[in-house]
Each structure stands twice: as C-alpha cells, then as structure tokens.
C-alpha cells in the first residue's frame, strides 16, 4: 500500500449480499514500510520510496521551479512592464505575445504539478 485510500482488493459478485459476504472473508497482511509525511522529507537521500522505478520527487522540484519562474514573471509584469496597447487592425508585438504565453504556461505548469504531486515521483 503506497498511500491511505489505495485500493488493495476488489470483489465481483452477482448480487450485493454475496459481495458483502465475500468482502468480509478478505484478509490482508501488511508489512510496515518507511513513512514520509511531507515533500521536503521525501526529497532527502535515503527517504522511503513509493515507486521504485521513480527514485526522486521530481514533481515537487518541477512545481517549485515553475513557481519561482512564475513569480519572477509576475514581478516583471507588475513592476517593469508598460501597459500594452493594441490599436484596431494592429497585431500585438512579439514581446507582448511572449510574455502573455509564458505567464499562462507557467501558471498552468504550477497548477498541473501541484495536482500531480501524489501521483508523480515520490511525494507522499
């Protein structure tokens, strides 16, 4: 079992009563494993690994890196950039398009890796 709530058994039956009876007959022996309760602890060398084929908490590192870049992007947009004005019939400049696309991409990345922490890498 890798996390609380992980499915460890299933019962298929023709009716509810039979399924309940079968579920009561299930016995599972658990072997105690190491515990990691936070992301910082999970990144330390020798921390218990949830997935043997993914040896580090890559999702946490990606989220923190994207979060820092998004913060820098936001700081630039609020402190240094001038308001963008686009006249009718004109196209936005390359710099405006790049900044808008990078802002959207960075925040999507932060949200994605935040949601994926329990599923990618060794987060919990």
Q: Which residue has the tokens 């599972």?
A: 28
* Across 42-63, average pLDDT: 71
The mean of the pLDDT values for the chain is: 78
DSSP secondary structure string for all residues of 41-79: HHTSTTPPPS-TTS-S-HHHHHHHHHHHHHHHHHHHHHH
Q: What is residue 79's predicted lDDT score, i.e. its pLDDT?
A: 78
| Domain range summary for the chain, segments of one domain joined by + | 36-116
**Cβ neighbours, 10 Å, residue 59:** 22
**Cβ neighbours, 10 Å, residue 69:** 15
Longest CA pairwise span in the chain (Å): 73
Asked if 43 and 121 count as a contact pair (C-beta separation under 8 A), the reply is no
Asked if 81 and 99 count as a contact pair (C-beta separation under 8 A), the reply is yes
Pick the closest to residue 112 from 59, 68, 73 (CA basis).
59
Q: What is residue 124's predicted lDDT score, i.e. its pLDDT?
A: 44
- For 75-124, how does the pLDDT look when each residue is reduced to its tens digit (9 = 90+)? 877 777 666 677 788 887 787 788 888 888 888 887 777 776 666 554 44
Cα–chain-centroid distance for residue 117? 3
Tell me 21's DSSP state. Answer: H
Whether pLDDT at 26 is above 90: yes
């Amino acid at each position: 079992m890798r996390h609380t709530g992980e499915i460890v058994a299933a019962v298929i039956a023709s009716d509810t009563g039979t399924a309940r009876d079968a579920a009561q007959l299930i016995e599972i022996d658990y072997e105690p494993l190491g515990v990691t309760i936070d992301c910082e602890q999970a990144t330390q060398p020798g921390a218990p690994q949830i997935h043997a084929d993914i040896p580090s908490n890559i999702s946490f590192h990606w989220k923190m890196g994207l979060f820092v870049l998004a913060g820098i992007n936001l700081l630039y947009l609020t402190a240094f950039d001038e308001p963008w004005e686009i006249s009718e019939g004109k196209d936005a400049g390359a710099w405006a398009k790049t900044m808008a696309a990078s802002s959207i991409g960075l925040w999507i990345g932060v949200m994605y890796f935040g949601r994926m922490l329990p599923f990618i890498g060794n987060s919990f």
